Chains A and B, each alone.
Chain A
Amino acid sequence: MTSSMDEKIRLRDLHAFYGESHILHGINLYVNRGELVTLLGRNGSGRSTTLKSIMNMVGRRSGSIMINGTETLGMPAHRIAHLGIGFCPEERGIFASLSVEENLLLPPEVRSDGMSLDELYSMFPNLLERRASQGTRLSGGEQQMLALARILRTGANILLLDEITEGLAPVIVKKLGEVLVQLKQRGLTILLVEQNFHFAAPIADRHYIMEHGHIVEEIHQSELEEKRGLLDTYLSV
């Protein structure tokens, strides 16, 4: 049994709306300290909206979002990160008018034990080489590394990662997988939205499957084999 102290993220009956459209229909999920949990599902199933709802980046929301045991539903967007959350949006959000290093140094520190520039540059050597370049001059893979490095520097220990492998070459996807394993070993908590099941399967502790704004299935690492057929049904296009 996990004590509630170990719960880094807990969503209860979360509904979210963009204008008139009702996107999330009562999401319940939790992520414990040090866990890597994925949100799987087809495009439009509400996975990105779930992450954005946690960040208070959608329209209206109702229900409950507990981060580290603190209710955040009424909290202004700029205070959420300071609970120790780092968000890596699907579009990566690299700023074109900032250099690589400026991008890296931009987010305010939210906890004291963030990774140093040196550590980040040794984890992602490409960024060191290109630190003076304009942020958006980087390749897609380098931009993704920058987006990830940027939130690791802040000391965030809860990471919300949206489709970080999308459109990237296999060698870079492999590198990102290694990085996630390292982060997990450091005790970081990760909620990952992922399309690439083969990327997520070996590194995740649990998977939630979403469809039409609902969570339709929760699968533990140990149940992957027996529920393979079910997964294929949900994820097939």
Chain B
Amino acid sequence: MDSFLGINPVALFGQLLVGLINGSFYALLSLGLAIIFGLLRIINFAQGALYMVGAFFAWLGLQHLGINYWLALIVVPVSVGFIGILIERILIRPISNEDHLYGLLLTYGVALVLQGIFTHLFGSSGLPYSIPETLQGGANLGFMYLPTYRAWIIVISLLVCGSTWWVIEKTKLGAYLRAGTENSRILQGFGVNVPLMITLTFGFGVALAGFAGVLAAPIYSVSPDMGANILIVVFAIVVIGGMGSIGGAILTGLLMGIIEGLTKYFYPEASTTVIFLVMVLVLLFKPAGLFGKEL
């Protein structure tokens, strides 16, 4: 296709696709953060590290246990979720009555420890994970080439985010979560086992990170610092979207991915900073975030 108004559609759509894919990861990770923050009031800084652990589990499973990609999509989030449950029960619960800053520092510490362990065991260079056979190849859409695996990432992320949103906003289970997010003491007074709910919620939020890690393994190299790199951006996205909105976390994740992609096309020099620029603007003009409620 020819260029129009000096815009090269192949390059533009290419960057948009990259943006959407990054946005899918942002959405999965910030969704997990938002769910956890809602009930525990803790910003889980270990979310990025657990995403990294998810990618490594997928790699280890394939290399040593014969767990293929499809199986990993189920087994890995469950195991990462289980690690989350242990973290919540052993580390977070004892400080749950302290200032929430302690929770942030604690989870940051957990992130560093996890990153350190994996660097020690596997070194810091990336490990390859090949795309499963059925998702190899791609389609020429005329204006761009769409690799199948990348399309898969976008579809499955939207599906997972969408169903999580649906469960939280439309079901009885979600009503417990929403009520607990607002006032867990009253919910507990009604006879709901809130401590158990907190543990399972943390496990689920963290499992989302593990799931994102499996999705990421074939396209980013599996390395111990992959979580730290993405977490800073995801943290900015959570600030932009505002705490307290599940739908907001998903939409902001996708939107920021797209904005990043567009910036890569129009002004590549700013592509790594544009999200932080948006964050500054949001903090100046709508401190509670685009979808957040004033706390």
* Chain A interface residues toward B at CB < 8 A: 55, 57, 76-82, 87, 89, 93, 95-98, 102, 105-108, 110, 151, 154
28 contacts between A and B (CB under 8 A): A57-B185, A77-B188, A77-B189, A78-B191, A78-B192, A78-B194, A80-B191, A81-B190, A81-B191, A89-B189, A93-B186, A97-B178, A97-B179, A97-B181, A97-B182, A98-B175, A98-B178, A98-B179, A105-B175, A106-B175, A106-B187, A106-B190, A107-B192, A108-B192, A110-B191, A151-B190, A154-B190, A154-B191
Q: Are B191 and A55 in contact (CB under 8 A)?
A: no
Q: Are B175 and A107 in contact (CB under 8 A)?
A: no
Closest to B170 in A: A102
Q: Are A108 and B183 in contact (CB under 8 A)?
A: no
Q: Are B190 and A108 in contact (CB under 8 A)?
A: yes
Closest to B196 in A: A78
Q: Most chain-A Cβ atoms within 10 A of its Cβ — which of B175, B179, B189?
A: B189
Q: Are A78 and B188 in contact (CB under 8 A)?
A: yes
Tell me which of B181, B190, B195 contacts A107 (CB under 8 A): B190
Least Cβ–Cβ distance between A131 and chain B, in angstroms: 14
Q: Are B193 and A78 in contact (CB under 8 A)?
A: yes
- Interface positions, chain B 127-145, Cβ under 8 Å from A, are none
Per CB-CB distance, the 10 closest pairs between chain A and chain B, nearest first, are: A81-B191, A107-B190, A93-B186, A97-B178, A77-B188, A78-B193, A95-B179, A78-B188, A102-B175, A87-B189
A143–B172 CA distance with the chains assembled, in angstroms: 20
Least Cβ–Cβ distance between B263 and chain A, in angstroms: 34
**Given A78-B194, A105-B172: A57 in contact with B189 (beta carbons within 8 A):** yes
Least Cβ–Cβ distance between B97 and chain A, in angstroms: 10
A108–B194 CA distance with the chains assembled, in angstroms: 13
A residues within 8 A CB of B190? 81, 87, 106-108, 151, 154
Closest to A147 in B: B186
A residues within 8 A CB of B178? 95, 97-98
Q: Most chain-B Cβ atoms within 10 A of its Cβ — which of A80, A106, A151?
A: A106
B13 CB-CB contact with A under 8 Å: no
A residues within 8 A CB of B195? 76, 78
Number of CB contacts from chain A to chain B under 8 A: 58
A residues within 8 A CB of B193? 78
B176 CB-CB contact with A under 8 Å: yes
| SS of A interface (majority) | loop
B residues within 8 A CB of A108? 190-192
Interface residues of B, CB < 8 Å — how many? Answer: 19
Least Cβ–Cβ distance between B93 and chain A, in angstroms: 13
B residues within 8 A CB of A76? 195
Least Cβ–Cβ distance between A117 and chain B, in angstroms: 14
Q: Mark B149-188, 1 if CB is under 8 A from A, else 0.
A: 0000000000000000000000010011011011101111
**Given A93-B183, A96-B182, A97-B182: A80 in contact with B175 (beta carbons within 8 A):** no
A57–B187 CA distance with the chains assembled, in angstroms: 11
Q: Are B189 and A95 in contact (CB under 8 A)?
A: no
Q: Mark B2-33, 1 if CB is under 8 A from A, else 0.
A: 00000000000000000000000000000000
A79–B188 CA distance with the chains assembled, in angstroms: 8
A87–B187 CA distance with the chains assembled, in angstroms: 11
A residues within 8 A CB of B183? 93, 95
Least Cβ–Cβ distance between B183 and chain A, in angstroms: 6
**Given A57-B185, A105-B172: A82 in contact with B191 (beta carbons within 8 A):** yes
**Given A78-B192, A80-B191: A106 in contact with B176 (beta carbons within 8 A):** yes
A81–B183 CA distance with the chains assembled, in angstroms: 16
Least Cβ–Cβ distance between A96 and chain B, in angstroms: 6
A residues within 8 A CB of B192? 78, 107-108
A residues within 8 A CB of B185? 57, 77
Closest to B245 in A: A97
A82–B183 CA distance with the chains assembled, in angstroms: 19
Least Cβ–Cβ distance between A91 and chain B, in angstroms: 9
B residues within 8 A CB of A57? 185, 189
Least Cβ–Cβ distance between B204 and chain A, in angstroms: 18
Least Cβ–Cβ distance between A150 and chain B, in angstroms: 8
Least Cβ–Cβ distance between A125 and chain B, in angstroms: 24
Least Cβ–Cβ distance between A79 and chain B, in angstroms: 7
Closest to A97 in B: B178
A93–B185 CA distance with the chains assembled, in angstroms: 10
B residues within 8 A CB of A151? 190
Tell me which of A81, A97, A98, A102 contacts B189 (CB under 8 A): A81
Closest to A108 in B: B191
Q: Are A80 and B181 in contact (CB under 8 A)?
A: no
A77–B194 CA distance with the chains assembled, in angstroms: 9
Q: Are A55 and B181 in contact (CB under 8 A)?
A: no
A160–B186 CA distance with the chains assembled, in angstroms: 13
